[in-house]
Amino acid sequence: MNLSFYIAKRYVFSKSKNNAITIISRIALSGIVIGALALFVVLSVFSGLREFSLTFSNDADPDLKVNVIKGKSFFISPSQEQQLKQIKGIANYSKIIEERVLFSFAEKQQVTYLKGVDSQFAALNPVTKKLFNGVWFTPKTSQAVVGYGIAQKLSLGLFDVNNPLEAFIPKPGKGAIESEEQAFNKAYLIPTGIYAINEEMDSKYVYVDLELAQEVMGFQYNQVSGIEIKTRPNADENKIISEIETVFNNQVQVKTRAQLNASLYKMLNTENFVLYLIFTLVIIMILFAFAGAIFMVIIDKKDNLKTLFSLGAEVKNLRRIFLIYGISLCAIGGIIGVSIGALMVFLQHQFQLIMITDTLAYPVVFTFQNVALVLVTIVSLGCIATLIASSRVSKKLLD
């Protein structure tokens, strides 16, 4: 093994007497460097785009959300609230009411969500700081904060007391409906602020005070449709979820942010996997050429191999020389490629060299996970290619 390693090391760092073989080996090594560089840069860019995309959901969704398993609402008693406050890992929580209703303004209508939130909502959700115009609503009033998309579609103005935003909330019950009053509860809202997060969220919510939402929906003071929770850094989410379910006697379900945005996470993971497969295919093609280069080195060193074979070296030891040689080149090429890629990612992150728009640079994120993934991919595929090439070392070749 030591002899195989020593000879392989000499082959890696010494030039061949045949200039053509040296050039072919360097081209093969350059291909590995470029493949590792390309894969690492693409994964880093996609990690940046993934993080950039998730910031929009992070601005609107809590760390954990509690919903009832059956029905639309549930009751939370003072003792249950006290138990929630005692759960380690919960930084803050907010009681909410969320219902799809019809909004009308100046003969324009839109169906979207009315969301009642309490005074703690501002402490756990950054949407209160994402106001495009105006201010957040004052508690215990009929004021409201609407999304930019809703305001644009309904042509809403702010602080227009004479022209309030009308909300029509369906009344529960059975039987024939003979008038509008029998079908809907009506609320008159005064928009005081417009928030802007992204296109989807800007057309989804109209925020009002929790007590107002309870009143127009006929809820009791301790009746809510959900609880949004902010966890402390590095908190054990699984343990918190288990304790919350115990507090509510397993009558609720608790979802993480990833579960609330399951389709988004699934789409991003699928795109990441597809990109990885595409660039891995490119690397496989490069390594086919690399296997050919190793076989050329074997032909070039044929006389040396015959000498070693005559001195008693076994064929498997001779194969091991080129196996170590190929894996070493793959590892060196992978490290060089990842190092250059890391430098490019650092420069893009610090100096924003490539821009998407005049104000937005291509987002990139350096992660050791990407470093490990690229190196493992390069070395693993290189090992397979080297095994194929080194298998050509046989007694027939040496005769």
CA distances from 386 to 58, 86, 308, 328 (A): 46, 59, 20, 10
Phi first, then psi, for residue 186 (nearest 5°) are -120, 140
Tens of each residue's pLDDT in the chain, 399 residues: 577 888 888 777 776 666 777 787 788 889 999 999 999 999 999 999 888 888 777 777 899 999 999 988 999 999 999 999 999 999 999 999 999 999 999 889 999 999 999 999 988 888 888 898 999 999 999 999 999 999 999 999 999 999 999 999 987 755 555 555 667 889 999 999 999 988 888 999 999 999 999 999 989 999 999 999 999 999 999 999 999 999 999 999 999 998 998 888 899 999 999 999 999 999 999 998 889 889 888 888 888 888 888 888 888 989 999 999 999 999 999 999 999 999 999 999 999 999 988 888 989 999 999 999 999 999 999 999 999 999 888 888 776
What does the block give as tokens for 258?
A: 């990833």
Number of Cβ within a 10 Å radius of residue 139: 14
Prediction pTM value: 0.81
Torsion of CA 92, 248, 209, 108, to 10 degrees: 120
Angle at which helices 78-86 and 237-247 cross, to 10° = 160
C-beta separation of 197 from 56 below 8 A: yes
β-bridge partners, 75? 223
